[in-house]
Structures are given as C-alpha cells and as structure tokens.
Structure 1
Amino acid sequence: MILRLEVNEERLHGLHNTARQLQDIMIMVPQKRSTGVTPVEKDLSEDPIDINLAKSLVVQYGLRERFLSRMSRVLHAAVSMREDTFKNAVDIHLSYKDSRTRNITKQDLIGVENTLASIAKLPRGTSLQQLYLLILSADESHLGASLKRAEENLWEAVLLLSYIDARAAIYSLRDSFKEYSDIFADIITITFGFYDDEDSYSKLDQELGDRIIKLSESVQAYNESLKETNDLIHTAEEIAKEPNFEERLNNLIRDASFANELFELMCKLGFPKRAYGTLISVARTTKTFENVTFRDKSFSSATKIPFQTKARPLSNNPSQAVQSENTYPTPTSPLSPSTASTAPSATASAPLTPLTPLSPQVPPFPAEKNRLQQEATLLIGSILDNQLLTKHDNAWYSFGFVCTRDEEEERSLAGLYSVLLQEADSVQTFFHELHHALESHSLVPLFVAKGYEIFREHFPHLEAFLSTPPEQRATVWRLKQFILDPDKTEPPACLRRDYGFKMCKQREEVLRLKAIYVKVLEKMEPEDLHAACLYGRLFEAAVCEGVAIDEKDRRLMHNDYPSPFIGFDNDTGLAGYQLPLFRKQEKL
C-alpha cells in the first residue's frame, strides 16, 4: 500500500535532500498524443506491502528486474547493479544515454542513498503492513519517526518535483476526453444504463465507466494545485490497477484509439506510485541496500550557464558564457519538448524535520500561499526543464519577466534565476527563498545578497517592479502581458477600466486595440504610457509618438478617467467589471 501524504507549506520547505534525484526517478515524460493503437506500458505490477517481507541477501529476481527496468526508463540511462553479500553493500551504476540528466550531482545521489539505507536498516522481518501501522500510529519512537520521515519525504519529493510533468499528462487527458467527446458520451449512456443491448455490458463495465466519468470531471476541473495533482496521480493509478483493466476498458469504450490512448495516459500519470513502491520494496527486502552507492562518471561534465558568475561579467554571447561544473544550460523555447528535469545538489547531511501525522485527506493551502507556492514551483520547474515560462503564467509576471524588452533579455533573466538555483544549497532551500521573496516583495534584496547587483544594468525596469507591492503596481504591466499573448481576447477587468478594452464590442476590436498598444510600447516606455493612462490621454500620447491609429479605433482608447482608481493593479474601482466582456466564452 503506497502512502498518501498530506502536503503543506512546512513540508514543501523541508523536503529531504532526495528531492532532486527522485524527480528524475519518478518523472513522467510527456509524449505526443496518440493517433491510433500505440505501444503502452504493460507492466502495471505493484510491489505489495501487506505481506511479511523478511530480508534476503540479494534482490530477488523479479523485483530486481522491475527495479532496473523502472530506474532505466525514468532516468533515461542504462542502469546496472552489483551486490556484495559479504559487506552487505550494493553499487548501482548509471550510464546516461544523453546529456539531459547530467546536471545531477553526487550530493543528489547521496540523498537517495541515505534515504534507501535508512529504510533498509529497519528491523528485519517486519512486514510493510506493520510498518504502515507504525507510521499511522502516534508512536514517535526512533523506528516509527525515522520511517515516517523517510517515506513521507520520498513521496512528497515526487509530488513537488514531478508537478510540471504531471500537469502535462493531465492536460493530455483533458485533450483526449475532448477529442473523443462523442465516444465519451456513449460511456455516460452505458454507465447510467441507457443502452439497447442489456447483455453487452456488465455491472463491472458500468462501475468502471463511473470511475472514468469522475476522472474526466476531475481533469476538467483541474486547477493546477499540488493537492489536485496529487489526487489525480493516485486516482489514475487506482483505476489502472483494476483487475483486467485494459480488457475492460476496451470492452467499455469499443474504440481502439480512444481506449489505448486513455490507457496509456493513465499508466503514465500513475507511474510514480509504482516506481515509489518498487524503491521501498527493494530497500525493505534486501540486506545489501543497507549500504547503497550510486556510481556515475558524468559529474565532471560542464554545461553553459546563461548568466554571469560573480567572477566574470554577463555575456549575451553563448560562446562566451561561463563554464562551470554542475550548472544549467540556457533555457530553450517553451515549445521545445522536454523529457527530463534536473536540479542542483542537496546537502546530504541536512537534518530531517519532524513531520506531522499522516492524513488520508490533503487539506488545501490558503489561497494566497497556494498561489505563491505554485508560482515558485513553476519557475523552478521551468529552469529544471530548460524552458522559458509561458507568458500567460502568472509566474512569468510575478518574477519580473514582463519587464524584459525582448526574448534575449527574457533568457538572461531566466539565466539569473538558474544561477541562483545552481548556487543554492538545495532545491528546497531555493524554493523557500523564492516563496519568501514573493511574499515580502524582496527579490531585489535576494539578488543583491547573492552578489548579482549587476542585474540593474541589464534589466532597467526590474528593480522598481519587483520592489513594488502587487496591488500598487501599474496596470501597464498587465497590459504588456496581455498584448504579448496573441490569442487572448478576454481582457482582464483592470485593462477594461484603464486601457479602453471596455469599448470593444467584438473580439476583432480587442485584437486591433492590442495591436495598437504593441506599436505604442515599441515607441514609449511603460512608465510614460502609465502616466498617459492616469490623465486619460492614451490616444493623444500614441499619436504624439507617431503611432498611426485609424479614426474608427479612436473611441477604443478611452478609459475611466477622471476616476481616482485607474492605473493600479488592485480591485479598487472594478465593481462594474466583474463579468466577462463577452457573453460567449473565449475558446481555449
């Protein structure tokens, strides 16, 4: 039985130093959506925890093969192991197939070694069911507390650091349900018993249909929170391990493409639970894992970092970028597929923080804390995936990317955050620093404290933006974010009030007004456009800067001047703008 853990702020700040390596161990690799019958993972076996698992000298054959196979799959590496029964030790050798995971440090693997060893050193012959009861009990003995910390840190590391890839799998499920909506409607009909051939579908088919419908509802309502990501991972795996699941799914859906695609995506989404169980079982059943060592010869490889180090100045020329061991490559376009995540090292000797008792339910974070934690997670995930944040993500706005003048500057700012992550003691430490800095509007002091005052020379608007509390920031930055997302035609309430989008009667007019502001901001500084907004002189300011505006579009550039509320990114003065601008919802 795999544990279902409570996720809260304290634990997100105090993840054990296994987090980095376990991200790669549990990562779910996003794939292109299926167009027909494609190969899917057939190994859905779980490693049981409700039997007495006395330790053997070496890993038993079936478990050994499963361990190596799953490690190889998720690490994108050839994995082998050599066990020494005289020393009760095991060496695990990693040979990477490409460079995507070569930013793993020795300290990352030491964290995994320590976690597996701490589980392996528990008393022999103790069944995992008994250990699970120990975890749920109030017993805070050394045995119970140590196991609790190891197991909870293991799963919580998976949950936090597989967030980006899990989200991608969930959105692929959403796309699949949408593409096959007609077939899915038949499943609903079958589930509720409205079908002609009563002998075609069993009660079990209807029960499976009910679970698929509930999964679809959860996927459609997914809000990207850690809690819902955790729940959907568990739900997908629980459905996938149903007896004869693949056969029953094909019988229920009776469309090979949809059934196979749904089966494949649910297997991918639930994979972290199976890999997690395999790791636990290997450690619990094998004496050699009391002394486990990962062997990897790729630690000396160096990659380029896109921002300066403290010893050398910033260079936008990739050929002049600083070479440094265990650093991060320049983020690539968000359209580029990513199949692996990496992170800096964690301190192997970091103390384990006592954890609260397990809960079968995962309580939500307070809304604001949850939002800030998600934004910090998205930024770290984008760095580890070598991608830029997408412009519609609020994290792109909150971390100041909206202040950059072009993609080159955007990549340089991503490089600054990448270097800060590389220099942090652990990914958890950096997560904590980011979250605190967002809450306290202190990202600038963080840059300065780390020795990167030079950021002021390269990002002239960044300091003022990051140092200003969100509710006091000029809405011109929201305008910039909106116009840089070319497909968005539903303007935020503050832009309807401040920049004339309330005057748009059709979505085509929204697009025309966005195009006007693109030209305006090519000629004006954001602060100057903000001043024009405050005085109700948007059209006049644009014309003075030489922006050609069709006379029919002049009416679109009227805001709520002389209202005292215009110009700032808060809810004051937005009472009349709460409903969408258009009745028909925007197509996503």
Structure 2
Amino acid sequence: MPSHCYTAEVPLSVFDEDDLIDDSYGITPMAGLGKPLSLRNRFLRRLSKMIGADVTMQEDEPDVRLDIYLTWKPNQLEQSPAVDKELREYLSGLKDAWAIIAMHQCGLRYDRAREDLWDTVLIYVYCHIDYTIIRLQQCFSLNQPILDDFITTMFGVHENTGSERDCELGDQLIAIQEMVQGYDSSVKQLNTLIQFASRMTRTLSHLQNRLKYLLGKPVFAKEIFQLICAVGFPERAYSTFVRAAKASTVFTETNFHIRLRQTSPTQPLPQQTISTAMLLPRPPLQGKSQATRQALATPLPLLIQTDYADYETSLGAARPFLQKEDRVIGFVRLPAAKRDTVQLIRSVLPGKLVPISSSAFYIFGFVTCDTEDQERHLAGFYAWFLEQARHRRSTFQSLTTAVETNTLADLLNIKNLASFNDYFPRLETFLSAVPTPTVWRLKQFIQDETTDEPPPCLKRDYGFYFCTQREDVAKLKTIYTAILDRVAPLELHAAAINGQLLAFAIQELGVVDPNMRRFLQNDFGVLRIGFDDMEGLERHRKPLFKKVQREV
C-alpha cells in the first residue's frame, strides 16, 4: 500500500447516506421530506476520509478564523502527520486555495484557486487512486466470464433479452472497463478516470441496484460499485471543499492543528499539538482578516517578509506552474533549471526572500543587490511578473528556457525590467553576461553563513584553494567582505584577472594580516580566470574539507 493513503483499505463497506452527494451543483441535499443535510458534517467527513484522521473544527472568532484539528492514534502519528511532507504540502495547498475561494466568488483569481485546489487534491491522492484503479483492473479480470456474458447481452446476441438491457449504464460500464484496462499510471489518465467515475455516480441514479440487475452477480456488482465510488471520491471531496469555502469567510484564515488521540478514558490527551507554523511549509499570514484579504486580493507588494523556512522538498506556491508529471516527481528530482525556477516561485509568491544558499539567488540576480531592501524589491518585481502570467505553465517554461539559454534579461525586458535599472543598476549587466564574472559567486559565498566549502571557481580565482582550515576560509571571507563594502564587485574582479589581489586588498584596506597574505593569490595565467568558466578547474574540484559526520 502507498505510504499516505487516506484510508487503510479501499472502502468496501456500505456507504453513508450522503457519501455520493454531489456539491458541484450548489443544490441543498435533503434528508427525508425536508431536513437539509449538513454541509459542515460532509466537509469534515470527506476531509477526514482523505487524510485518515479524525477531523473537528472550531470557529474561535466568527467570520475571522477557522481552526481545524486533526487527530491521529498514537501509533499512526509517526507515519502520518509531522514527518509526512506530502501531508504538509497538501494542507498548505488546501489552506491557500480556500482563502482565495472564500474571498473571490468568481473571476480569474477564483478560477485559478479552484484549479490549484484540484491539482493539490489530485497529487495528494495519486498513490491511493492508482492503487484503487489497479484493484478495479483485477476485479474486472477475475470476473471476465461475467463481463463477457454482459457484453454479449448488451449487443443483443440473445434477442429475447433486448428489452431488459440498461443501455445507459451498459455503455458507461464498458467505457470505464476499457479505460481501466488501458490505464498506464499517468497523472493524465488517473485524472480522467476520477472524473469519469465521479460522473457515473453523479448521473446514474440507483447505480448499485442497476449494476446488480445488469450483471446478475450481486457480489461482483457490489465490489465494482464501491471501487468506482472510491475512484470518484476525490472529485466529490473537491466539490465539497469548494462549496464550503464559498459558504463562509472563515476559510480566509485556516489553521491546522495535529494531536494524538486519547487512548483511555482516564488518560489525558498528550500535549503534542503541532501548530500551523510547524506543520506547513510557510507560516500563516499574520494580522487581522482585513489584512489577510488585502494581501491575497492584490499582487504581492514590493516589501515582503523574510522567512528561511525549509524548502528542501516542497513545491509550495510553484505547484500550479508545473506540468502534472513534474509535480509527481517532486522538487529534488527536477532538472536544474526547473529546480531553480521553482525555488524562485515558491519563495517570492508567498512573500519570502530567496534563500542566499540557493542557486536561484545567484541565477535570478539577487546576488547583485547590496541590501536586503533591494532584495525585497527585486523579489517583489519577480512576484509581480509571475502574478501577471495568464498561462502559468507557459510562463514557467519561458523562465526555465531563459535560464538554460542565458536570455533571462531579454525575457524580463519584455516586462519593463529596464524601468528598474535605476534601482538595480547591475542586474541587467549581470543577467546578460556570458560568461559571468566569478566575483558574483564570491559575493554570494561570503554572504552565505551556512557553508565554508567554496565552489571550484573561487578556489581558482580568489585563493580559497590555499585554505587548510575552516578558520582560514572564515577569515578570507571577512577580508573580501570588507573589500566589497568599499568597492564595486567588478573592481575586485579586475584585480583578480590581473593577479593583483594582495595589492588591491592593501590599497583598499590599508592593513592586511600578514598570516592571511598568502591566501590573496590565484591561478593567474589561466586563460579564463575570473569568469564562471570550466577552464583551469581540474585541480579544484575536490572539496577542501571532509564532511562533518553527525553523531548518532
């Protein structure tokens, strides 16, 4: 079984009264002669079924905030919530989409939020539905003689049964069997099967009884019915999520909390509630509901908050920009250019700075910024560029291609990057340079406090090759930081390509520690020294230091 199935097994029990209720039409379902069925209860039940936990919700502040509590058994917690990054990403996607749907009842942002919500649901349930479809394949195969008799009857070989044929159901049953037999586990086909199965349960009334009559085998008919219902469940849950978010403004700010289930009546609930900030890849938006509405209703402002949350594997806000196949394989397995573009999008769209340690910080020009304020403005520009995209996947492809072909400046100039030249005077030159001066790699390296292992080009061009201790690297970083506080990066670059690092350091700093002077030299004479080029890097590829082994 897949690791994060929303139920332990394909549900083969009798369905509850409103398990097949369709919320896509907006019609209020009724019980008996006049009692409306609760949308709230249906929302909780379907969310619970999807994530495999007990779900309750509380509106602490009416029309302002919604707290949703997810409760697992103690022996389920390790394999489900806190360590399951797919679950964290799923809940984050729900939260973001619900907020926009709650505020925008129609229009482009509403349509995009619905699309994002469906993509979020589809990717999360992929493993389980894939498994369920395989079960359906097996069910059809094991009962092939029954199906053969059914098809023979459907096509009128036995003329005396012609009047008894249920052609409406028969046609759809044959269609879904063919789709299931040809299923190749692609996201596209899985999506098609979910939609088809959901449509069957939505449009074919009394489906289970009709299957029993049509197939003549109650056990087989019941299993087929319940597997079809299981395949179509994500679409029904999605429709309920949309309807619930439209019905109440509390979904503009949703907080998820995880806790353990009480194991006995006398044992208190363990205090292991996980807050939203710990659970989700990004923290909840701060402030009152009006501020939240304003932030989501307008393009991201230029001044955005800093947050260096762990994005090692999460796709975050970049998910809607990716093709479905790329969403399935995940961030780490993406090609380099796509990975860098995802890092940009998942940082700036939620209002975060691009992490200094990431290659996206270098590739998209943040390394040319002198202050954090400039980084915020540049992040705001990229966020605006992305917000304007009518076709997000095409925009993503354009960015990726620009990164691969070093044409990012040309692409951004279409969006008036030139108007930002006064504020980012070095950006266009940096993005257009081929190859790029390695002084920009140096600038990123000395700002990055998470590493003391320089890239090969800095060992060749700026003397890090001669460092034998980590302390040497730290001191050399300090010297170059002091120099770049006084001069433009390209002035230091000129000194490097002319083999004058030590003389330039003395000129700018006045005094240089005699013990550090031996590091201020490079491989002067190499043809492409000073540029982000492969020339002369052969002896610099090995790391300076062995990786520190963590104690177990």
Q: Distance in 2 between matches of 1:530 and 1:278?
A: 65
What amino acid sits opposite 2:66 in the alignment?
A: K
More relative contact order in 1 or in 2 (CA 8 Å, sep 6+)? 1
Q: Distance in 1 between matches of 2:374 and 2:463?
A: 29
How far is the alpha carbon of 1:485 from its aligned partner? 1.2
> Structure 1 78/519 Cα, relative in aligned 2: closer, same or farther at 3 Å?
same
Contact 1:482 1:491 in 2 (8 A): yes
Residue 411 (structure 1) aligns with: 376
Q: Distance in 1 between matches of 2:100 and 2:304?
A: 14
Residue 542 (structure 2) aligns with: 579
- Does the residue aligned with 2:396 lie in a helix, a strand or coil? helix
2:111 to 107, 111, 133: 107
In the alignment, does 2:395 pair up with 1:430? yes
How far is the alpha carbon of 1:579 from its aligned partner? 1.7
In the alignment, does 2:305 pair up with 1:332? yes
Residue 421 (structure 2) aligns with: 456
How far is the alpha carbon of 1:332 from its aligned partner? 2.2
Residue 47 (structure 2) aligns with: 68
Contact 2:438 2:457 in 1 (8 A): yes
Contact 2:305 2:351 in 1 (8 A): yes
Residue deviations 1:44-82, cap 9 Å, x none? 5256289999997527999864423478999x99699xx
- Does the residue aligned with 1:523 lie in a helix, a strand or coil? coil
Residue 421 (structure 1) aligns with: 386
Residue 569 (structure 1) aligns with: 532
Residue 390 (structure 1) aligns with: 355
Residue deviations 1:502-522, cap 9 Å, x none? 222211111111100000001
Contact 1:53 1:127 in 2 (8 A): no
- Does the residue aligned with 2:418 lie in a helix, a strand or coil? coil
Residues 187-202 of structure 1 mapped to structure 2, 5 A cutoff: none
Residues 537-576 of structure 1 mapped to structure 2, 5 A cutoff: 537-576=500-539
Residue 474 (structure 1) aligns with: 437
Residue deviations 1:112-168, cap 9 Å, x none? 698899x9x99866898875434239xxxxxx9985554699xxxxxxxxxxxxxxx
Residue 505 (structure 1) aligns with: 468
Q: Which has the larger radius of gyration?
A: 2
Contact 1:95 1:296 in 2 (8 A): no
> Structure 1 278/579 Cα, relative in aligned 2: closer, same or farther at 3 Å?
farther
What amino acid sits opposite 1:461 in the alignment?
A: R
Residue deviations 1:242-301, cap 9 Å, x none? xxxxxxxxxxxxxxxxxxxxxxxxxxxxxxxxxxx9995425679988x97962676999
Q: Distance in 1 between matches of 2:437 and 2:518?
A: 23
Q: Distance in 1 between matches of 2:239 and 2:485?
A: 64
How far is the alpha carbon of 1:575 from its aligned partner? 1.3
Moved more, 103-112 or 484-493: 103-112
Contact 2:315 2:342 in 1 (8 A): no
Residue deviations 1:85-132, cap 9 Å, x none? xxxxxxxxx986399734563112443698899x9x998668988754
Contact 1:51 1:128 in 2 (8 A): no
Residue deviations 1:11-64, cap 9 Å, x none? xxxxxxxxxxxxxxxxxxxxxxxxxxxxxx9x9525628999999752799986
> Structure 1 296/424 Cα, relative in aligned 2: closer, same or farther at 3 Å?
farther
How far is the alpha carbon of 1:567 from its aligned partner? 0.6
Contact 1:539 1:557 in 2 (8 A): yes
Residue 174 (structure 1) aligns with: none
1:97 to 48, 59, 66: 66
- Over aligned residue pairs, what C-alpha RMSD do you find? 5.4
Residue 48 (structure 1) aligns with: 10
Q: Distance in 2 between matches of 1:341 and 1:434?
A: 17
> Structure 1 49/585 Cα, relative in aligned 2: closer, same or farther at 3 Å?
same
Equivalenced residues, count: 372
> Structure 1 581/342 Cα, relative in aligned 2: closer, same or farther at 3 Å?
closer
TM-score normalised by the chain length of structure 2: 0.54
> Structure 1 147/579 Cα, relative in aligned 2: closer, same or farther at 3 Å?
closer
Q: Distance in 2 between matches of 1:334 and 1:481?
A: 18
1:484 to 447, 468, 475: 447
Residue deviations 1:524-582, cap 9 Å, x none? 11111110001111111122223531122111101111222311112211111122223
Residue 528 (structure 1) aligns with: 491
